[in-house]
Structure 1
Amino acid sequence: MLVSSCPAGSDRRDASRQSGRDPSSWTVEDVMQFVREADPQLGPHADLFRKHEIDGKALLLLRSDTMMKYMGLKLGPALKLCYHIDRLKQGKF
């Protein structure tokens, strides 16, 4: 089971501000923060979201095959990201 974590300090304030907003309004930076906080092991992949200009609307459209084919992610990280994106869509993040 994957566990979400939120670092202490200013990052926690940013996360609480982000979590109250509609994900479709997130910027690329918000998406990168979401990826880092959803699973620390996915943090190294956060820069891919900037490179590919993935904002909140694009994040909600991502699928594992798209992440693997166009972003170069391996299956494991792509599936983990899909899990967190699905939770986000259900309002559980």
Structure 2
Amino acid sequence: MAIETDSNAEEEGKEMSQNLLQWTVADVASYFSAAGFPEQAVAFRTQEIDGKSLLLMQRSDVLTGLSIRLGPALKIYERHVKVLQRTHFLECEDL
């Protein structure tokens, strides 16, 4: 099994962002596991965060609402949640 780097996860996220509204809780957890955050992926699953919820998450939701350590939470928000949101909403503007 290959370990994905942040850039690979970001590429995957860009491809999948078109369907972000259709992501299930399992899809979100799988994305974060593949991005190198398997422990934190459990928090997304526990809180039942699906694609729609992910699009609505703010920085404070990730930092405090998921009860995960600050370092990983910051990385998750800045490198993944924010990127997925930005990509999704830019694609929506293009339609």
How does the TM-score come out when normalised to structure 1? 0.68
Cα–Cα, structure 1 residues 32 and 56, in superposed 2: closer, same or farther, change >3 Å? same
Please give the alpha-carbon distance, in whole angstroms, between the structure 1 residues aligned to 2:17 and 2:55: 16
Gaps of 5+ in 1: 7-14
Structure 2 residue aligned with 1:54: 49
Structure 1 residue aligned with 2:19: 22
Offset, 1:20: 6.5
Please give the alpha-carbon distance, in whole angstroms, between the structure 1 residues aligned to 2:64 and 2:70: 10
* RMSD of aligned alpha carbons: 2.6
Equivalent residues, number: 80
1:68–1:78 CA contact under 8 A, matched in 2: yes
1:67 aligns with 2:62: yes
Offset, 1:77: 1.4
1:64–1:75 CA contact under 8 A, matched in 2: no
Amino acid at match of 2:86: Q
Higher helix share goes to which structure?
Answer: 2
Structure 1 residue aligned with 2:7: 4
Please give the alpha-carbon distance, in whole angstroms, between the structure 2 residues aligned to 1:3 and 1:55: 20
| Percent identity (aligned) | 32
User: Comparing both chains, which one has the higher relative contact order based on Cα–Cα distances under 8 Å and sequence gaps of 6 or more?
Assistant: 2
Aligned mate of 1:87, from 78, 83, 87:
83
